[in-house]
Amino acid sequence: MRKNLLNFEYDELIEFFKKLGLEKFRADQVLDWVYKKRVFNFEDMTNLSKEHRKILNEKFYIGIPKLLDMQISKIDRTTKFLWELQDGNTIESVALFHSGRVTACISTQVGCPVKCSFCATGQSGFVRNLKSGEIVGQILGIEINRKVKVGNVVYMGMGEPLLNFDETLKSIRMLNHKKILNISKRRITISTVGIPEKIIELAEKDVGVRLALSLHAATNSKRDEIIPLNRKYSVDELIYAIRKYQEITGDRITIEYILIREFNDYPEDAERLAESLKGINVFVNLIPVNPVNPNFYRPSRWAMERFKQILERHGIESEIRVEKGTDIDAACGQLRRRNLK
């Protein structure tokens, strides 16, 4: 059975090439064709002999996901991708365009087992974890379809990255490796709904990426309502985990907080959040809820500003996220769910 070349880390590929009787520099040549020149057909790799290309065709394929749908915002160029994987499953990615850089939001699972009530992905169920090559392949797919170079990566697409821990970390090593995508670890962020033991393990392994915690409520009673996983991992456990993470790494942590009108946007919610985060170096990203769940409404601008001001009075830096792709299905899971119908 042929193997997906994108699943191989650098050292793994060299070792596999040795078993095939191919020298180390042949691996370098192939990686240069794939990751630098964006050539995905072995027959077009002209500095390899016909015999080498024959061996590669017999042993490997290059698993770039198939583009099924692409939506481009007329407002800010935000681009939503729906990909088909080798087994027919579908996943999403998003490209965000900022001044001078492009950020890719990528998926780590087909569907999601967490089932947050404000997220379209969880409503479509969980199928399986992605392999590292399927994660990395999203970056290549974005770059070739939008003719851009991705400089920042956020693990904030479909799925919970810390529930696919090993493949997520492997994909990070690949993104960072100079022979592969050469993206700085400081430009990579893992966004998690919160798996406490994995947050601590991430710190202990000295992965070196940034961490964002999707908290969305400061009390268990409210968080239970919107994030079922909170019944297993309480708010107190999550706060303990990010404190430990910061003790080990010294890094500032981003707190993602989706604001839902007349649910978690009251002044007392802001006060509780500030109290929970006391003594932790954090940045709070305030996000008006996307229109996925018909029971959830966005707060007024005034209510969001009030929430922000309360946090800042407690010395917590925060901002109300500038929304992108509002004219397309940019929220996670929306495009896939529509295509599954």
Which residues are part of the catalytic machinery?
Answer: 92, 332
Ramachandran angles phi, psi of 113, nearest 5°? -85, -10
* Alpha carbons within 13 A on the beta-carbon side of 88: 1
Contacts (Cβ under 8 Å, ≥6 apart) of 336: 82, 90, 91, 92, 120, 121, 124, 158
- Residue 54 CA to residue 51 CA, distance in Å, equals 5
Q: Residue 129 is inside which H or E element, if any?
A: strand 126-129
- Residue 334 CA to residue 186 CA, distance in Å, equals 29
Q: Quote the tokens at residue 220.
A: 């268990």
20, 10 Cβ separation under 8 angstroms: no
Contacts (Cβ under 8 Å, ≥6 apart) of 273: 215, 218, 255, 257, 284, 311
- Residue 138 CA to residue 92 CA, distance in Å, equals 9
- Residue 273 CA to residue 189 CA, distance in Å, equals 22
